[in-house]
Amino acid sequence: MSNARATHLSRRGILAAGGALGLGAVLAACGDDDAKSGGSDKGTTAAKSGPWTFKDDRGQTAKTDKTPANIVSFIGVAAALHDYGIESKGVFGPTKLKDGKADVQAGDLDISKVTVIGNEWGQFNIEKYAALSPDVLITTMFDSAGTLWYVPEESKKKILAVGAPSVGISVYDVQLPTPLQRMLELAKSLGADTTSSTITAAKKRFEDAAARLRAATKAKPNIKVLVGSASQDIFYVSGSNLSVDLEYFKALGVNFVEPAASALKASGGWYENLSWENVDKYGADIIMMDNRTSAIQPADITEGTWKKLPAVKAGQVIARNPEPILSYDKCVPLLEDLAKAIESAKKVS
């Protein structure tokens, strides 16, 4: 999440930074017949006895006497581990909507079966956390300093004092395959059978989707893609650097609209702030919009300047999740949706 990484940013800025972050929307991807029918080939093995260790992306090694059973994790991490058959006991981060339904960041996770210890930015109930007798705390990191995502800085010491080691998986200035592989390695250490047919098939679909996107960009190199996020007063335009999804899409040939470095400076390189009057500053053929609940969704944008944009008028607006769920299954649609949009896009800019 581009905006998310600059720790000096406001809460709104941090969440909107996501505008600089990911692609998104379609959360379902096909599994094999066993997976669809609720079969057990999800990739879990019995928890190993004996000491457990895992070296995270801060270079810190988490250690426990046995493989963690009481896992507490950021909601997106919990969703990814769930896809590998590893369940979290507690979660924090955007989990439940006001109507009680699961947030987009929960993926296929059954949120009724987890304890939510914080549903919004800044929320982390230490008493609930301690009551879970956590074996490990897992989240992502959106900066080079190793800041644990959604773990409030003001209460971090008290949270870590509960005694569970922490694990951070970096999603900062790397391409998507890297954190995907790291999450898979983490799941394996926690007992997942990463050679299962379900996981192998998901990795193959991911590779095929990447090849499709590369072919689409090669066939239509002039299609320009703008990445945005909407708030009441500001439209955020993301740069393609720093975000795991955008860096990877760019490597596959996607022609992104790139704000000048000077315009990105205030956000630490993540995004440029535009007023709605200036939302037409950049020409684009496709617009990818932040689909997280912290952002205003395209259908709810009432600004006339937005509705006049060529890509909007052409219906060439797709969703993006600036915080991709780091399982191969959930990242397949990110590639496929963008490939499809480019394949069918008309040049309107």
Tokens representing residue 282 in the block: 């950049």
Mean pLDDT of 236-254: 97
The residue ranking higher by pLDDT, 1 or 319, is: 319
Q: What is the pLDDT of residues 175-220, one digit of tens each?
A: 999 999 999 999 999 999 999 999 999 999 999 999 999 999 999 9
* Residues 6+ away with beta carbon under 8 Å from 102: 95, 96, 109, 111
Q: What is the pLDDT of residues 323-349, one digit of tens each?
A: 999 999 999 999 999 999 999 999 999
What band does 242 get if pLDDT is binned at 50, 70 and 90?
A: very high
Counts of helices then strands in the chain (DSSP H, E):
12, 13
Q: Please give the span between the terminal C-alpha atoms of the chain, in angstroms, as a whole number.
A: 27
Whether the predicted pLDDT of 141 surpasses 70: yes
The residue ranking higher by pLDDT, 255 or 16, is: 255
The residues with which 256 forms a beta bridge, in sequence order, are: 225
pTM recorded for the entire structure: 0.87
The residue ranking higher by pLDDT, 221 or 39, is: 221
DSSP state string for 35-75: HHTT-STTSB-PPPPS-EEEE-TTSPEEEESS--SSEEEEH
DSSP state string for 107-157: TT--GGGSEEEESSTT---HHHHHHT--SEEEEEE-STT-PBTTS-GGGHH
Q: How confident is the model at residue 20, as a pLDDT?
A: 35
Q: How confident is the model at residue 50, as a pLDDT?
A: 75
Q: How confident is the model at residue 35, as a pLDDT?
A: 34
User: Whole-angstrom Cα distance, residue 261 to residue 136?
Assistant: 39
Mean pLDDT of 78-104: 97
Beta strands in 220-282 (DSSP E): 224-230, 235-238, 255-256, 271-274
Mean pLDDT computed over every residue of the chain:
89
Question: Is residue 96 exposed (0-12), middle (13-18) or buried (19+ Cβ within 10 Å)?
Answer: middle
Tokens representing residue 240 in the block: 């393609």
Q: What is the pLDDT of residues 144-177, one digit of tens each?
A: 999 999 999 999 999 999 999 999 999 999 999 9
Q: What is the pLDDT of residues 16-63, one digit of tens each?
A: 444 333 323 222 233 333 333 333 344 444 445 679 999 999 999 999
Mean pLDDT of 68-87: 98
